[in-house]
Amino acid sequence: MWSMSDPTQQSSVATPSVSPAARAGAAVRRMTARSKDEEHRASTPLEAFFDLCFVVAVAQAGQRLVHEVVEGHAGHGIVGYLMIFFAIWWAWMNFSWFASAYDTDDVPYRVTTLVQIVGVLVLAAGVPRAAADGDFRLVAIGYAVMRLALVTQWVRAGVAESGAARATAFRYAVGVAVCQVGWMVLLLPLGAPPVWAFAVMAVAEVLVPPLAELATSTSWHPGHIAERYGLFTIIVLGESVSAATVAVQSAADEHRALGLLVPIAAGGLLIVFSAWWIYFATPIEEHLVSSRMAFLWGYGHFAVFTSAAAIGAGLEVAVERAVDTADVSARTAAAAVALPAAVFLFMVWLLHARHHKRGAAEQAVLPIAAVAVAACTFSGTHAVLWAGLVCAATVAAGVWLDTHRRLADAPE
C-alpha cells in the first residue's frame, strides 16, 4: 500500500465487478482481488456486524480508563488504554483493508470472519484484567484468534493469486504470523509486558504492510475504505454518547447535582455533534490517490479513534466528579474531556480538512479551535460546556467561511 503510483494501476489482477447477490450466493469463490473500479462498493452487512462487535471492546477500554482516572492513576490508565486500543484498532484496520481487496462473501470467508469476531469478544473480556493488573494474557489470546484467522485469509488469497499479487499475500501471511509468535512469547509467560517491549512489537506490526506491499499493492477501494473508517468513527462517537448518557442517568436517578449535570450533558453533546460534523464535512476518498497517502491516512486514525472514544470516558469522569463519587480535581475532570476533544479536532484537520481548505483563514480554524478547546481545561466548573461551545463555534465558522468562498467563486 506504499507505492506512489495511481491506485488503479496497483493490483496485478482484479476480478470484474460482481453483484452482492452473486457473491452471497456462491458457497465458495476463488479469492482473487476485487476491482478498484467497482461501482457502488459499499460496506457489507458482515462488515457492519464485525464493527458492532468491536463496540464491546471499545466500551471496556473506555470504562477501565475512567476507573484509573477516578482512582488517581491517570498516567497508568492512559498508557494501558493506548496499549489496549492498539490491539483493537490494529485488528480492525487489518480486517478492513483485507476485505476492501479480497472480500468474496462466500462461506469460508464468512466463517473466518465470525471466528475473528470471537477473538474480539475474548479480547474485550480480558480488558479489565489488562487495565487493572497489566495482565494481557486473555487479551493476547483474543488477539491471536483474530490475527491467525486473518493469516488463513491471506494464505487463501495467495493460493488463488499469481505472480506479484501472490507474493504480496504470502508476505502478509508470514509477517502477521511472525508478529503473532512474538506477542505470544512476550505476553503469555508473565502477562504484563514492559512498555518498551510492547512498543517494539507494535512497531513490528505496523511495518508488516509496507514490507508486504513493497513491490505490489493490494487492490483496496478508496470509496470503500473511506466509508469503513467513517462508520468506525461513528461507532466510537456513539460510544461516547452512550457512556455519557449512562453516567448522567445514574446521577440523575439519585437527584444529585442536577445543576452541574445539565452543563456537562449539553457540552458533551455539542462536542460529539461537532466532532461528527467536522469529520464528515468533506469527502476524503478523493484524497486517497495513492497507496502511500491512503495508508498513512489510515495509520493516523489511531489518534482519531482513541481520542473520540476517550471523550466519552472523560464525560463519565466529569459526571462522577460533579456528583462527588470521584476524588479528582475540577481541572483533571475538565482535562479528561477537553484534551481528547482537542486531539480529535487537530487530527481531523491534519488527515482530512487541510486537503480541502483554501486560504489561511479556512486552514487556521481547526488548529486554533484545538488550542482553544485544550485551554478550556482551565476554565473552571463549566469547562465541558465551554469546550462544547468552542466546538459549536468552530462548526459555525467553518460553514460561514466555506459558504463565503463558494459565493465569491460563483460566476456572476
Q: What is the pLDDT of residue 272?
A: 93
Task: Give the global pTM.
Answer: 0.87
Window from 117-121, 139-143, 246-250, 342-346 with minimum mean pLDDT? 246-250
Q: What is the pLDDT of residue 145?
A: 94
Q: Cα-flanking dihedrals φ and ψ of residue 34, to 5°?
A: -80, 160
pLDDT(369) > 50: yes
Per-residue pLDDT band for 282 (boundaries 50, 70, 90) equals: confident
Per-residue pLDDT band for 255 (boundaries 50, 70, 90) equals: low
Q: What is the pLDDT of residue 1?
A: 40
pLDDT(211) > 80: yes
Q: What is the pLDDT of residue 346?
A: 96
Q: What is the set of domains in the chain, with CATH numbers? A: 7-212 (no CATH), 222-409 (1.20.1410)
pLDDT(8) > 90: no
Q: What is the pLDDT of residue 261?
A: 80
What is the distance between the alpha carbons of residues 382 and 143, in angstroms, rounded to a whole number? 40
Q: What is the pLDDT of residue 167?
A: 92
Average pLDDT over residues 152-166: 91
What percent of the chain shows pLDDT beyond 90?
Answer: 42
Per-residue pLDDT band for 11 (boundaries 50, 70, 90) equals: very low
C-alpha separations of 356 from 218, 234, 369, 396 in Å = 27, 21, 17, 17
Per-residue pLDDT band for 306 (boundaries 50, 70, 90) equals: very high
What is the distance between the alpha carbons of residues 285 and 352, in angstroms, rounded to a whole number? 10
Specify which of 107-116, 241-250, 260-269, 289-298 reaches the highest per-range mean pLDDT.
Answer: 107-116
Per-residue pLDDT band for 294 (boundaries 50, 70, 90) equals: confident
Specify which of 140-154, 213-227, 228-242, 324-338 reaches the highest per-range mean pLDDT.
Answer: 140-154
Per-residue pLDDT band for 251 (boundaries 50, 70, 90) equals: low
257 or 404, which is more confident: 404
Looking at the DSSP bridge assignments, the partners of residue 227 are none
Three-state SS for 122-147 is HHHHHHHHHHHHCCCHHHHHHHHHHH
133 or 95, which is more confident: 95
Residue pLDDT, tens place only, 81-99:
998 899 999 999 999 999 9
Average pLDDT over residues 260-272: 87
Residue pLDDT, tens place only, 30-75:
777 787 778 878 888 999 999 988 888 888 888 888 888 888 888 8
Three-state SS for the chain is CCCCCCHHHCCCCCECCCCHHHHHHCCCCCCCCECCCCCCCCCCHHHHHHHHHHHHHHHHHHHHHHHHHHCCCHHHHHHHHHHHHHHHHHHHHHHHHHHHHHCCCCHHHHHHHHHHHHHHHHHHHHHHHHHHHCCCHHHHHHHHHHHHHHHHHHHHHHHHCCHHHHHHHHHHHHHHHHHHHHHHHHHCCCCCCCHHHHHHHHHHHHHHHHHHCCCCCCCCCHHHHHHHHHHHHHHHHHHHHHHHHHHHHHHHHCCCCHHHHHHHHHHHHHHHHHHHHHHCCCCCHHHCCCHHHHHHHHHHHHHHHHHHHHHHHHHHHHHHHHCCCCCCCHHHHHHHHHHHHHHHHHHHHHHCHHHCCCHHHHHHHHHHHHHHHHHHHHCCCCHHHHHHHHHHHHHHHHHHHHHHHHHHHCCC
Q: What is the pLDDT of residue 16?
A: 43
216: cell is 505490489
Q: What is the pLDDT of residue 15?
A: 43
Average pLDDT over residues 371-388: 92
